Structure formats: structure tokens, C-alpha cells
Amino acid sequence: MKGSTFFQIVFLSSLLASLSFISPVKKKRNSSKKTSVTKPVKPPAKDSIENPYYIIVDKSDYELKVYDDEGWYATYPIVFGSKDLGDKMKEGDKRTPDGNFKVILKKIHPQWGPELLLDYPNDISYQKFKERKSRGLIPKNARIGNGIAIHATRPQEEWTIDNFYNWTDGCVSVKYTEMKDLFSYIPVGTPVTIQQ
């Protein structure tokens, strides 16, 4: 029995170690596009196509998928707000909002590095917020919050993604090394859908 338990522990340790090497997947569609994770496909010149990409964040699958004009382009593992996977109700609830947004600013955050700031709250976010207040689902003095972004982990904390550890205050978090890749080709104005 003790030997069996030892082998089970060794097997599980090996399995977990193999999962830690999961990285973004890129789909090869034709010979003119590269599939390397470390060298993303170079996007068209900014003046040739205004917004060549769109992003779908799937909370239930812990995935951020990038699409271009040919379809699926790349998938990145991600984590979210630390409360649960429900829709953001109010400021400070540590949930990631559901809805349709767009990237409004690209910047380097002092802690997280590359960051894509989203236009949360937008008009639809405000409508949902006001409705929840009127129905008594949130306190009358609650505020909607802001500052929702897609950003990196700290360089030494990529393990949070590997272990599906939701740690943010409501943002979407990508591994530090992979966020540098995403940041390099996603332009301001890119549509982002966050869904359950």
C-alpha cells in the first residue's frame, strides 16, 4: 500500500510539472504566417488596417482568444478577479466584468508591466449597474469602479496562471512573458468580449 501511494505521488507530481509548460497556442493557417509563440505574426502596418484583431475572454475556460480577419489566431491561458467568475456588480467586489469592451490605452504598469486598459465602465456597464441598484442587488451608495485591464503577472508569479489562481481585483491576467507578446501586436481600439 505504501509503495502504491509513493507511485501515485510521483505520477501526480510528474503530471503537474508537465502542465506548467503550457503556453499560448497559435494556429497555422498558411505558410506566410509563423506559429512561434515567442515571435508572433507581425500585424499589418497600422495604416493598412485599423483594427485587425478582436479578443474573446472566456472565463469558464480560463482562455483569452485572439482572432484576426482569417479567424482564430492565438490562445493564452489567463486568470481573473479573486472573488468568483460572476459578473462585476460594483467597485471592490473583486470580480471581472462581463460584456463588450474595447482597448482604450496601452501602457506599462509599474507592477504588472504591459497593460491593455479597457473602456470599463461603458454605457452598458452603467445600465446594468443602475438596474442592479434599483432592484436592491447592490447598496444604494455603491460605486461602479473602473481601471479594468488585461495585464501581466509579476515576472516571478507566472505560476498563478498555471494553477488557475484568480488573484486580481477584477482585471484579466496573462503570464508576464506572454503579455509582452500580446501587447506587441494588439492595437488601441481592439474589441474585447468577456463572457462566462
Evaluate whether residue 149 is within a structural domain.
yes
Question: Does the pLDDT value for residue 42 go beyond 50?
Answer: no
Read off the pLDDT of each residue in 2-6 and give the average, rounded to a whole number: 51
Q: How far apart are CA 89 and CA 121, in angstroms?
A: 11
Evaluate whether residue 117 is within a structural domain.
yes
Query: Residue 133 in contact with residue 125, Cβ under 8 Å?
Result: no
| Contacts for 9 with CB less than 8 Å, ≥ 6 apart | none
Evaluate whether residue 47 is within a structural domain.
yes
Q: How far apart are CA 144 and CA 126, in angstroms?
A: 7
Instruction: Look over the chain and give the mean of its residue pLDDT values, rounded to a whole number.
Output: 81
Evaluate whether residue 8 is within a structural domain.
no
How many structural domains does the chain have? 1
Residue 101: closest CA among 78, 86, 117: 117
Evaluate whether residue 147 is within a structural domain.
yes
Evaluate whether residue 80 is within a structural domain.
yes
The per-residue pLDDT for range 22-36, each reduced to its tens digit, is 444 443 333 333 222
Range of the domain at 51: 22-195
Q: Can you give the pTM of this predicted structure?
A: 0.75
Evaluate whether residue 172 is within a structural domain.
yes
By CB atoms closer than 10 A (0-12, 13-18, 19+), residue 100 is middle
Question: Does the pLDDT value for residue 18 go beyond 70?
Answer: no
Q: The domain that contains 82 carries what CATH number?
A: 2.40.440.10
Q: How many CB atoms lie within 10 A of CB 187?
A: 15
Report pLDDT for 50: 72
Evaluate whether residue 2 is within a structural domain.
no
